[in-house]
């Protein structure tokens, strides 16, 4: 079966150049970057080179990039680290959008159990956080605001620069989870005006288990892990050298191809949207069509359970996703679509298509050819909804 | 042919999937998540996270696609609510039979059809075949010790037409031998014993939590209405029960009747438990049209009951009456009565 992978927001395959760089390091650079001798220096040099490449992707100074194990750790380090550093000032209020990734939402929940107050910003059906909503939520007590750069489910890009300015006017720090935007659209930490920014390598053709947190110079942050003095005392533990080198290589590739690849993917994505909306009755795009990352669309299919559609498409060789998976691997209603105010049936009938490097017009044609019949079958044959 | 196998992670449904795959069918494994797995409650013995994990590993070893479906809401509506309602009404429910007819061969079958599958296979010990006149038949399994046809009596002709039981012709030791031959890691996994959704604390606490109104004190009386003691809720009793009455008496006492409106539990000697006739509602006829006149049959009234001979006839409104040749102890309202002709399931219903 010719399989089509349209779930790049979940993860991406390694770029060949990334795999080559990692294999070389795994084979030839076994040194510990903290070691003083020759072997340590070689490993350290590889890590430094990767740090420069990642910094370049973010318009940042390499010295402000801390490598982590991925997006989740970066989000945790940013929010917990900043919150705990500010604890003594008496600022005990945290704000985030309600469409954040679980890495942010559940970190806020954990802090709420320890006495922090939290406010979640709802969004309207555009899926874009409004500056007015943030303005209304901010208080003198607000320690930190966390709003994602691009949403993972619907792809909408948030007005980070404006939101960060509002937070700063109230004396609050600003973190953005840029896991879904890094490598897809330009990021410039100075233009965004944020204090903390999280990214993850495997979302842009790097390896799993590698991520980074950019931290504005001079910002006080309590480390989440205690141990050695790696990463300028911000992230203890011997560096994942191969993962870091892979992330650096992926950042370099992403940066060099970004404009061209974004235009290509946006055209494919738009073709997919027009094709699906034209060929399948009862469909609608969830969220604003602009500003969006170029590779993502989220489409609602009236009278269809997303769970069944996902399985039916997988049996046809088309890999897509919906909502977020829970511990057993079943699907939960999308918290993002819920926060956008959609009724229950709409939070359970939506599918995310996220395109990537290997996708071509042939893939889009296959999806448009398969979808109408698959959806029609589900609509006529499913009589007993499991959850709605 | 594309066939969906309902995979519980146990040895029976794993072997069922493996045998179908070996026959060359395009097998798709589906597992049902039936209750919230995120809590810290310890559940019984089926469809826990570990079981779902086992199902996934078996499917992966067989090289078949496998998906977990979220049926929490539907399970609550069709199985758990009935389970609680029956106990609250002073009856003793049989959730596995409801799960088979109202979930596996309704909701899951719908999903299977929508995915292009014509058949749903399970690991049940029962057999389906077809009579000369085109009627779908349900038979006891080849292994009388493991037979589960009792739990499948409510399957309609339409449902039986889509049902496949690949291990129905095997004994349990043969199924385990097949599992070993196929190298399935669940080959030695113990059988599930309990009702899957009950926490280890037992069913009484579960029912009391779901339907607090049942946990009310009531009287335990003898057949003459004399009060012998009291109890903490009728859901703690089932007809034929001897233990847990908390009454000292010269001869053993058994629960004879449970009256939900007054909360009264009537007890008496074993001899008073015996009954010669019963009626059933919600009757589903499988091998025969509803018999207007008496038909010789054997009736099984519990999972572990040996079918007892007698005669059956259909009554108005999907009901039936059965008369035993010999009186039977503990005819329990809420349990199923299934009418057999040899190993053939004639039909069955719910004891009134």
Does one domain contain both A249 and A271? no
Please tell me which residue, B194 or A146, carries the higher pLDDT value.
Answer: A146
Question: Do A128 and A229 fall into the same domain?
Answer: yes
Instruction: Provide the CATH number for the domain around residue A365.
Output: 3.90.1150.10
b/e code A373-383 from CB counts within 10 Å (16+ = b): ebbebbbebbe
Torsion sign across C-alpha atoms A54, A59, A61, A66: negative
Are B70 and A312 in contact (CB < 8 Å)?
A: no
User: Which CATH superfamily hosts domain B2-181?
Assistant: HUPs (3.40.50.620)
Measured CA to CA in angstroms, residue A327 lies from B36, B42, B267, B270 at distances of 10, 15, 47, 49
Output the 3-class SS for A33-78: CCCCCHHHHHHHHHHHHHHHHHHHHHCCCHHHEEEECCHHHHHHHH
The CATH superfamily of B274-351 is Translation factors (2.40.30.10)
User: What are the start and end residues of each CATH 2.30.30.280 domain in chain B?
Assistant: 216-269
- Please give the pLDDT value at position A71: 98
Instruction: Enumerate chain A positions whose Cβ falls within 8 A of a Cβ in B.
Output: 307-308, 311-312, 314-315, 326-332, 377-378, 381-387
Indicate whether A371 and A225 sit together in one domain: no
- Residue B267 in contact with residue B247, Cβ under 8 Å? yes
% of residues, chain B, pLDDT over 90: 80
Q: Which of B30-39, B114-123, B156-165, B306-315 shows the lowest mean pLDDT across its residues?
A: B30-39
Report pTM: 0.90
Q: Do B33 and A328 touch (CB under 8 A)?
A: yes
* Backbone torsions φ then ψ of B49, nearest 5 degrees: -55, -40
Q: Is the pLDDT of residue B46 over 60?
A: no
Listed residues A253, A275, A308: the one ending a domain:
A253
Across chain A, mean pLDDT equals: 94
Residue of chain A with shortest Cα separation from B74: A386
Q: How confident is the model at residue B42 (pLDDT cuts 50, 70, 90)?
A: very low
Which chain A residues are Cβ-neighbours of B68 within 8 angstroms? 328-330
Share of chain A above pLDDT 70, in %: 96
Instruction: Give the integer Cα–Cα distance in Å for B254 and B245.
Output: 8
Whether A298 maps to a domain, the answer reads yes
How close A337 comes to chain B (CA, Å)? 19
Decide if B107 and A386 are in contact by the 8 Å CB cutoff: yes
Per-residue pLDDT at B41: 47
Residue extent(s) of CATH 3.40.50.620 domains in chain B? 2-181
DSSP 3-state assignment of B5? strand
What does the block give as tokens for A293? Answer: 């990352």
Would you call B116 and A382 a contact, using CB atoms and an 8 Å cutoff? no
Average pLDDT over residues A259-286: 97
Minimum-distance CB partner of A308 among B38, B68, B111: B111
pLDDT (average), residues B173-190: 95
| Among the ranges given (A213-217, A222-226, A314-318), the one the predictor scored with the smallest mean pLDDT | A222-226
The reply to whether A249 and A262 lie within a common domain is no
* Residue A41 covered by a domain: yes
- Is residue A88 domain-resident? yes
Cβ–Cβ of B114/A382 closer than 8 Å? yes
Comparing alpha-carbon positions, the chain A residue that sits nearest to B69 is: A330
Residues A233/A235/A241/A243 CA torsion (nearest 10 deg): -150
Domains in chain A, number: 2
User: Which pLDDT score, from 0 to 100, does residue A330 have?
Assistant: 62
Half-sphere exposure of A334 (CA within 13 A, CB side): 31
Q: Tell me which residue in A311, A382, A387 faces B73 most closely, judged by beta carbons.
A: A387
- Across B298-315, average pLDDT: 96
Q: Which of B14-18, B34-38, B334-338 is least confident?
A: B34-38
Query: Got the DSSP string for B10-26?
Result: SHHHHHHHHHHHHTT-E
Domain end marker among A200, A225, A253? A253
Q: Is B323 on the interface with A (CB under 8 A)?
A: no
Task: Please check whether residues A317 and A236 belong to one and the same domain.
Answer: no
Mean pLDDT of B315-319: 97
Whether residue A181 is found in the same domain as residue A304:
no
Share of chain A above pLDDT 90, in %: 90
Q: Are residues A226 and A157 in the same domain?
A: yes
Surface of B (61-90) touching A: CB under 8 A? 65, 67-74
Q: Confirm whether A46 is domain-assigned.
A: yes
- The model's pLDDT over A111-139, given as tens digits with 9 standing for 90+, comes to 999 999 999 999 999 999 999 999 999 99
Asked whether the predicted pLDDT for residue B48 surpasses 90, the reply is: no
Interface of B with A in 10-29 (CB under 8 A): 28
- Of A98, A100, A144, residue with least CA distance to A122: A98
Q: Cβ of B38 and A314 within 8 Å?
A: no
Res. B213 pLDDT band, cuts 50 70 90: confident
Q: Do B113 and A381 touch (CB under 8 A)?
A: yes
Location of each CATH 2.40.30.10 domain in chain B: 274-351
Residue A386 lies in a domain: no
Which of B49, B52, B70 has the CB atom closest to A387's CB atom?
B70
Summarised one tens digit per residue, pLDDT across range A159-200 is 999 999 999 999 999 999 999 999 999 999 999 999 999 999
Place of tokens 């009596």: B153
pLDDT band at residue B40, thresholds of 50, 70 and 90? very low
pLDDT of the residue at A322: 86
Q: For the purposes of burial, counting CB atoms within 10 Å of the CB of B69, is it exposed (0-12), middle (13-18) or buried (19 or more)? A: buried
Q: Span B158-180, mean pLDDT?
A: 97
Same domain, A166 and A131: yes
Domain around A45? 16-253
* pLDDT-above-70 percentage for chain B: 96
Active-site residue B99, yes or no? yes
Q: Are residues A25 and A169 in the same domain?
A: yes
- pLDDT of B127 above 70: yes
Pick the last residue of a domain from A253, A282, A298.
Answer: A253
Q: Are A223 and A94 in contact (CB under 8 A)?
A: no
Determine whether A141 is exposed, middle or buried from the number of CB atoms within 10 Å of its CB (0-12, 13-18, 19+).
Answer: middle
Task: Reduce the DSSP state of residue B135 to 3 states and report it.
Answer: coil
- pLDDT attached to residue A105: 96
Residue A300: predicted pLDDT: 95
Say yes or no: A115 and A225 in one domain: yes
Nearest neighbour of B37 by CB, restricted to A328, A377, A386: A328
Q: Which residues in chain B have Cβ-Cβ distances shorter than 8 Å to A3?
A: none
CATH hierarchy code of domain B216-269: 2.30.30.280
Q: Is B37 on the interface with A (CB under 8 A)?
A: yes
Query: Looking at residue A347, what is its pLDDT?
Result: 87
Range among A189-198, B197-206, B249-258 with highest mean pLDDT value: A189-198
Same domain, A215 and A317: no
What are the pLDDT digits (tens) for B72-93? 888 998 999 999 999 999 999 9
> What are the tens digits of pLDDT across the range B262-276?
999 999 999 999 999
Question: Domain holding A210: CATH number?
Answer: 3.40.640.10
Q: How far is B68 from chain A (nearest CA, A)?
A: 5
Same domain, A305 and A239: no
User: Is A326 close to B115, i.e. CB distance below 8 A?
Assistant: no
């Amino acid at each position: 079966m010719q399989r089509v992978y349209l779930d790049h927001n979940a993860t991406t395959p390694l770029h060949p150049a990334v795999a080559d760089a990692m294999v070389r390091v795994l084979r030839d650079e076994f040194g510990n970057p903290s070691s003083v001798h020759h072997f340590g220096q070689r490993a350290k040099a590889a890590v430094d080179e990767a740090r420069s490449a990642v910094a370049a992707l973010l318009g940042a100074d390499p010295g402000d990039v801390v490598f982590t194990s991925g997006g989740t750790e970066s989000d945790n380090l940013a929010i917990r680290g900043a919150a705990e550093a500010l604890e003594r000032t008496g600022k005990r209020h945290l704000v985030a959008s309600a469409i954040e990734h679980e890495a942010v939402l559940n970190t806020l929940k954990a802090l709420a159990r320890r006495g922090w107050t939290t406010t979640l910003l709802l969004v309207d059906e555009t899926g874009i956080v409004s500056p007015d909503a943030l303005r209304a939520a901010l208080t003198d007590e607000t320690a930190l605001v966390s709003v994602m750069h691009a949403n993972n489910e619907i792809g909408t890009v948030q007005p980070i620069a404006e939101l960060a300015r509002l937070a700063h006017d109230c004396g609050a720090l600003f973190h953005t989870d840029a896991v879904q935007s890094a490598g897809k659209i330009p990021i410039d930490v100075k233009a965004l005006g944020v204090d903390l920014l999280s990214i993850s390598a495997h979302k842009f053709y790097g390896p799993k288990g590698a991520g980074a947190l950019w931290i504005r110079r001079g910002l006080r942050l309590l480390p989440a892990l205690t141990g050695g003095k790696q990463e300028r005392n911000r992230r203890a533990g011997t560096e994942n050298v191969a993962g870091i080198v892979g992330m650096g290589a992926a950042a370099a590739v992403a940066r060099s191809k970004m404009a061209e690849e974004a235009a290509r993917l946006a055209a494919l994505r738009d073709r997919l949207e027009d094709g699906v909306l034209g060929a399948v009755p009862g469909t609608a795009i969830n969220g604003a069509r602009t500003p969006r990352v170029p590779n993502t669309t989220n489409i609602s299919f009236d009278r269809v359970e997303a769970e069944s559609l996902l399985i039916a498409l997988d049996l046809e060789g088309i890999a897509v996703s919906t909502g977020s998976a829970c511990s057993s691997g079943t699907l939960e209603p999308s918290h993002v679509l819920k926060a956008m105010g959609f009724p229950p049936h709409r939070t359970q009938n939506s599918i995310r298509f996220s395109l990537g490097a290997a996708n071509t017009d042939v893939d889009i044609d296959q999806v448009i050819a398969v979808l109408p019949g698959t959806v029609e079958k589900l609509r006529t044959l499913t009589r007993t909804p499991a959850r709605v | 042919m594309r066939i969906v196998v309902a995979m519980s992670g146990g040895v029976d449904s794993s072997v069922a999937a493996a045998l179908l795959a070996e026959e060359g069918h395009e097998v798709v494994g589906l597992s049902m998540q039936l209750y919230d797995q995120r809590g810290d409650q310890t559940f019984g013995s089926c469809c826990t996270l570990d079981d779902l994990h086992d199902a996934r590993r078996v499917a992966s070893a067989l090289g078949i696609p496998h998906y977990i479906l979220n049926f929490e809401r539907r399970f609550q509506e069709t199985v758990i609510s009935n389970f609680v309602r029956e106990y609250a009404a002073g009856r003793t429910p049989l959730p596995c039979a409801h799960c088979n007819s109202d979930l596996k061969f309704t909701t899951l079958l719908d999903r299977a059809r929508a995915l292009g599958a014509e058949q749903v296979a399970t690991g049940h010990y029962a057999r389906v075949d077809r009579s000369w006149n085109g009627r779908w038949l349900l038979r006891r399994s080849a292994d009388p010790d493991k037979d589960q046809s009792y739990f499948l009596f409510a399957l309609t002709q339409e449902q039986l037409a889509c049902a496949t039981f690949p291990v129905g012709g095997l004994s349990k030791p043969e199924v385990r031998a097949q599992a070993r031959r196929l190298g399935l890691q669940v080959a030695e996994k113990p059988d599930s014993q309990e009702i899957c959704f009950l926490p280890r604390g037992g069913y009484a606490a579960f029912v009391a939590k779901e339907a607090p109104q049942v946990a009310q004190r009531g009287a335990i009386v003898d057949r003459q209405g004399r009060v012998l003691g009291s109890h903490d809720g009728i859901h703690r009793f089932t007809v034929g029960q001897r233990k847990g009455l908390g009454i000292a008496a010269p001869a053993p006492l058994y629960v004879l009747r449970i009256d939900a409106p007054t909360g009264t539990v009537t007890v008496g000697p074993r001899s008073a438990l015996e009954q010669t006739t019963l009626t059933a509602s919600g009757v589903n006829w499988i091998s025969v049209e509803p018999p207007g006149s008496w038909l010789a049959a054997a009736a099984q009234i519990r999972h572990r009951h040996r079918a007892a001979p007698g005669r059956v006839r259909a009554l108005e409104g999907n009901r039936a009456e059965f008369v035993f040749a010999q009186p039977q102890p503990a005819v329990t309202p809420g349990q199923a009565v299934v009418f057999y002709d040899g190993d053939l399931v004639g039909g069955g219903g719910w004891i009134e």
